[in-house]
Amino acid sequence: MKVDLAEIRKKTVSVGQYIDDMEEPFKEKFLNRKQAYKLQPEAVDQLRNSAEKYVAVVFSAAWCKDCAENIPVLSLLSEATGLEVRVFGGLMKDPLNQVCKWRIPPSPPEVITFEVDKLPLIIMVDLYDNEIGRVIESPKRCPTLEQELNEIVKSHSH
């Protein structure tokens, strides 16, 4: 799928800014996870070598348990590798709507474009605006998020 990174950058915030702007008690959960989590050094080294070629585009909500697990890891990864992580935050469910799962606004209209179903949705994009892979909710193929992002990057660069 083609994405417009320039447009996405205008409509999103960096992962650090996303966590900084978060309301309590959610912010504390995200920061505690960030403090407690230890990145896997080998995965960090691998990602550092290709980080400037990719952008992680993320859909998140402060109330989401899987977001509280994975967004702080993305923040650490961004700091450790230079990977650009852009966040569409503030997603809110619309329980009364049978057609669309998300209430727009406050959810960004991009939830429809990117067919967001579960959170977080982490989309890896190359600098040519191509989606190269997704992580939905939590890593599925690898034990850690950093390993899974490496697998996505590796499968793209071969």
Residue 116's SS3 state is coil
Residue spans per domain, the chain: 5-157
Residue from 95, 90, 94 nearest 71 by CA = 90
What is the share, in percent, of the chain residues with pLDDT greater than 90?
93
CB 60 within 8 A of CB 116: no
Stated pTM of the model: 0.95
**pLDDT band at residue 157 using 50, 70 and 90 as cut-offs:** confident
Q: Tell me the pLDDT tens digit for each residue of 9-63.
A: 999 999 999 999 999 999 999 999 999 999 999 999 999 999 999 999 999 999 9
Q: Tell me the pLDDT tens digit for each residue of 132-141.
A: 999 999 999 9
Give the CATH class of 5-157. alpha beta
> b/e string for 82-100 if b means 16 or more Cβ within 10 A?
ebbbbbbbbbeeeeeeeee
Q: Tell me the pLDDT tens digit for each residue of 54-111.
A: 999 999 999 999 999 999 999 999 999 999 999 999 999 998 888 889 999 999 999 9
